Amino acid sequence: MERAELEAQARQILLTNLRRGVADWNGKEFSFVVPSLTGYPFQWFWDSCFHAIALTHLDLEQAKSELTTLLSGAQPDGFIPHIIFWEMEKQPDFLSRNIVGMTSPYFSATIQPPIVAYAVERVYRATGDEEFLNSALPVLTAYYRWLRYHRDPDEDGLIAVIQPEEAGTDCSPKYDEALGLEDLSNQGFIAALRKVYAAYEPMRGDDRRILAADIFHFEDVLVNSIYAFGLQSLARMLGDAPEAEEFRREADKTRDALVEKCWNEKAGAFFDLCGVAEKQVEVVTISSLMPLVLADLPRNIVERLVNDWVSNPEHFWLPYPLPSVPASNPKFMPGNPRGFIWRGPTWVNTNWFLSHSLRGHGYPELADTIVAKTHEAIELSGFREYYNPYTAEGLGARNFGWTTLALDL
């Protein structure tokens, strides 16, 4: 597809999914893109960051509004929710099909992968708007400090998620054992999640207590790779400010902890740590590759990940790479998952992260192929939520917001 055509189609989706107004419940103005008008009609944290990055290619004002709206959802203690229900009238229908951890009716009490500092950095670099940067920085510093205080109680540099949706890779098979999942379907997943939610009921909102209860406690590799990546951005944006050093140190600490605790030399992959006891969950998924986003990952590790996993046709190197689960996993499901997501199909956001990472680590051919195949999938099937990694058949939501990241590959 020609660049102009790709841009025209992406613009169409972002405009159609754009929601503007004033929220009844807090009187604040909102202006942001929903992931999908039908399936996901609210503001999602990491989706919004991806939308803003795509918008830097199309509409700089809207890129700023997307993030300003997200950051306006920050709470006094620094927390920024995973979902903000700006238009409450759409909520009952959504909650009849989904479960969300909440202490307020207006937003979730959960997090998503903390990419926001990088998104702000991209929008700032594209616009040069100092006012935008200066209003974002205090919110970002409070947010990353909130994560450290509330989500890293053992102070090892790795933050923990309390339920799978917080990692953005909801039904990934790496969580099956911890959830006690036997019915391998979306219904089975929701039923397992309901048990976790029920156990959290008396503690919801007190994340340190929830983590100490050790019900679902994952020091997740994808989340921590993005955490370190975000901290690096924040430190760069802070420049000479005294706080810059704090976040640079924290980024290094997280990278070192990923290598020391999550790297498995035998498997040649990174694994999440489950529970307070930090047991490695030996299931390779797209998350196992995510530390590649760190430019300063040790070279021997980069080579193992690329040679053993990424470029291996038995694992991730399928006709439309990179699948969310390698083909060698017995639970790999390349086709229509009926809502049981992140178990095989290829997603554009992880391709965006990993194609840039591979290029940065000196693998331009692999990066070029991922980019070309992603564009081909979009040309064949439209801007879908995810794609069959063998056929590029489009799956999940249509006109899906973050698939416009194809503009930034």
Options 42-50, 197-205, 290-298, 360-368: segment touching ligand GLC (CB under 6 A): 42-50
Q: Which is nearer to ligand GLC, 45 or 79 (CB)?
A: 45
Rg (CA), the chain: 20
Q: Which is nearer to ligand GLC, 341 or 407 (CB)?
A: 341
Options 41-49, 138-146, 267-275, 314-322: segment touching ligand GLC (CB under 6 A): 41-49
Please report whether residue 46 would count as binding ligand GLC according to CB under 6 A: yes
Nearest to 208 by CA among 150, 142, 154, 167: 150
Please report whether residue 40 would count as binding ligand GLC according to CB under 6 A: yes
Q: x/- site string to ligand GLC, residues 162 to 191, per CB under 6 A?
A: ------x-x---------------------
Q: What's the rounded Cα separation, in Å, for the pair 169 and 171?
A: 6
Q: Which is nearer to ligand GLC, 47 or 272 (CB)?
A: 47
Options 39-47, 140-148, 270-278, 287-295: segment touching ligand GLC (CB under 6 A): 39-47
Q: x/- site string to ligand GLC, residues 67 to 86, per CB under 6 A?
A: --------------------
Residue 40 CB, nearest distance to ligand GLC (Å)?
4
Nearest to 185 by CA among 164, 171, 166, 168: 171
Single out the residue of 9, 35, 120, 247 in contact with ligand GLC (rule: CB under 6 A): 35
Residue 261 CB, nearest distance to ligand GLC (Å)?
24
Please report whether residue 157 would count as binding ligand GLC according to CB under 6 A: no
Please report whether residue 363 would count as binding ligand GLC according to CB under 6 A: no
- Say how many C-beta atoms besides its own lie within 10 A of residue 31's C-beta: 16
Please report whether residue 389 would count as binding ligand GLC according to CB under 6 A: no
Q: Which is nearer to ligand GLC, 53 or 237 (CB)?
A: 53
Residue 226 CB, nearest distance to ligand GLC (Å)?
12
> Residue 146 to residues 114, 153, 196, 208, 290: CA-CA distances in angstroms?
11, 11, 23, 11, 23
One-letter amino acid identity for 272?
A: D
Residue 200 CB, nearest distance to ligand GLC (Å)?
18
Range 115-134, binding ligand GLC (CB under 6 A): none
Contact status, residue 112 vs residue 82, Cβ threshold 8 Å: yes
Dihedral of CA atoms 47, 50, 56, 62 in degrees, nearest 10, equals: 10
Q: Which is nearer to ligand GLC, 46 or 146 (CB)?
A: 46
How many residues lie near ligand GLC (CB under 6 A)? 8
Cα Dmax for the chain: 55
Residue 245 CB, nearest distance to ligand GLC (Å)?
32
Single out the residue of 30, 44, 229, 387 in contact with ligand GLC (rule: CB under 6 A): 44
Q: x/- site string to ligand GLC, residues 307 to 346, per CB under 6 A?
A: ----------------------------------x-----
Q: Which is nearer to ligand GLC, 193 or 341 (CB)?
A: 341
Q: What's the rounded Cα separation, in Å, for the pair 101 and 109?
A: 6
Contact status, residue 1 vs residue 407, Cβ threshold 8 Å: no
Q: Which is nearer to ligand GLC, 67 or 341 (CB)?
A: 341
Residues 6 or more apart whose CB falls under 8 angstroms from that of 266 comprise: none
Please, what sign has the CA dihedral across residues 126, 131, 136, 137? positive
Options 43-51, 154-162, 295-303, 312-320: segment touching ligand GLC (CB under 6 A): 43-51
Residue 188 CB, nearest distance to ligand GLC (Å)?
16
Q: What's the rounded Cα separation, in Å, for the pair 27 and 308?
A: 53
Residues that bind ligand GLC (CB under 6 A): 35, 40, 44, 46-47, 168, 170, 341
